[in-house]
Amino acid sequence: MTASHVKRAFKYRFHPTDVQAAELSRTFGCVRKVYNLALAARTEAWALRQERVNYNATSAMLTQWKKTEELAYLCEVSSVPLQQTLRHLQGAFASFWARRAKYPTFKSRKKSRRSAEYTTSGFRYRDGRLTLAKMAEPLAIVWSRPLPEGASPSTVTVSHGSAGRWFVSMLCDDRPVMPAPANAAVGIDVGITALVTLSTGEKITNPKHERRDRERLAKAQRDLARKARGDGANRVKARLKAGRIHARIADRRRDFLHKLTTRLVHENQVVVIEDLTVRNMLKNRRLSRAIADASWTELRSMLEYKAGWYGREVITVDRWYPSSKLCSACGTLQTRMPLNVREWTCSCGTTHDRDVNAARNILAAGLAVTACGDGVRPQRNTPGGQSSMKQEVVPAPRTRGVSQPRG
């Protein structure tokens, strides 16, 4: 089964020379400086004159900044990533005015992501060799997988992670291919013990990647906290050590989620999931670490964009749908169901596994929504005194200020 043309990013690790690393570090610093200058100018214009400064105005400002003695060093790096950061700022303001995001914030030298984006005028790609502007030699890329046949990158993003690793991401046109699905549809119930429970009855155990390195990470963070603040060599080493452990955890989690979501999209034409508010659920101090490690938001994101690639469909069901308390055989709704009840018997005589029953109800609700032509089930306002937490992961009722959810 072949989907239409899509834009896909192919990410690779590379090992720069000392000269290339120095050039990229200068570029990262200039990108951050230009972003902050443009954000300050736009903020001042709005605060004093109620004036919205657009990309064209900030681009003209950049030209003037380069002519000053104080900012003359901006001319030493490629102008392409500087223009791109102004476009990114424009996009951030567009999201803010549309109320999709908060007001843009300034980039910190220590905490912000170190990256730079190049368009076609800022790099050369020939015969599998990528050379960036202001560089004489191509990057030493580790080609872990080939680019699509005949593809040429439209944009290239270079980044330097907290673990000291260098990555290059190439955006290319692709036409993904996926065989016909084996199943028409599947319902998914997410959790902590079982990361995913399918309506077919299959349960996929949560690997709990963070727990495997928890002691090692805690020791590395304690060592970092003991180092004197600043840019001392010992603090840099301690920061890199902690960063490498975080990166290893994230790599394992991302690899597992990629394999799982690819399999789900490969086997099913329609995938039905719950529309959970993970941001609110992370406010629970007792379970925030386990919820963050499960990474339900990333799981959903991967399912959605892979479904778009391969012509599949993802349906979301209202999080207030009582999937756990509803009998999937006769439709009887239980009045209450404590969290310690993992298996129960309905009045019709059917014995249910709590998670499997929830997955089957989620599937039925998603297919009903599709049959009605409503698309995504509309959200309801949270009832008075009701928590937006997923029932399967809410702690015991003794937790103050959190009442028992419906589903």
Per annotation, catalytic residue among 23, 274, 293, 392: 274
Dihedral sign from CA coordinates of 7, 11, 14, 20: positive
Q: Judge contact between 29 and 82, C-beta under 8 A.
A: no
Which one-letter amino acid corresponds to residue 24?
L
**Which tokens sit at 219?**
């020791």
**Contacts for 248 with CB less than 8 Å, ≥ 6 apart:** 213
**Which tokens sit at 45?**
């214009």
Which residue reads 């960063």 in tokens?
Answer: 243
**Which tokens sit at 264?**
């789900």
**Contacts for 310 with CB less than 8 Å, ≥ 6 apart:** 1, 3, 176, 178, 265
CB atoms within 10 A of CB 325: 20
Rounded CA gap, 307 and 272, in Å?
12
Instruction: Give catalytic status of residue 173 as yes or no.
Output: no
Instruction: Give catalytic status of residue 70 as yes or no.
Output: no
Q: E strands along 175-322, which residues?
A: 183-190, 194-198, 203-205, 268-275, 313-318
- Crossing angle of helices 79-97/55-66, nearest 10°? 150
SS3 state at 12 = strand
**What are the C-alpha distances in Å from 52 to residues 45, 47, 86, 382?**
7, 10, 14, 36
Which residue reads 């072949």 in tokens?
Answer: 2
Rounded CA gap, 254 and 272, in Å?
21
Rounded CA gap, 244 and 253, in Å?
14
**Which tokens sit at 56?**
């064209």
- Output the CA angle 70-74-76, nearest 5 degrees: 120
Which one-letter amino acid corresponds to residue 277?
T
**What are the C-alpha distances in Å from 169 to residues 141, 158, 177?**
11, 6, 21
Rounded CA gap, 147 and 172, in Å?
8
Instruction: Give catalytic status of residue 18 as yes or no.
Output: no
Per annotation, catalytic residue among 23, 117, 174, 189: 189
**Which tokens sit at 267?**
């086997």
Which residue reads 């300034």 in tokens?
Answer: 106
- Give the active site residues: 189, 274, 355
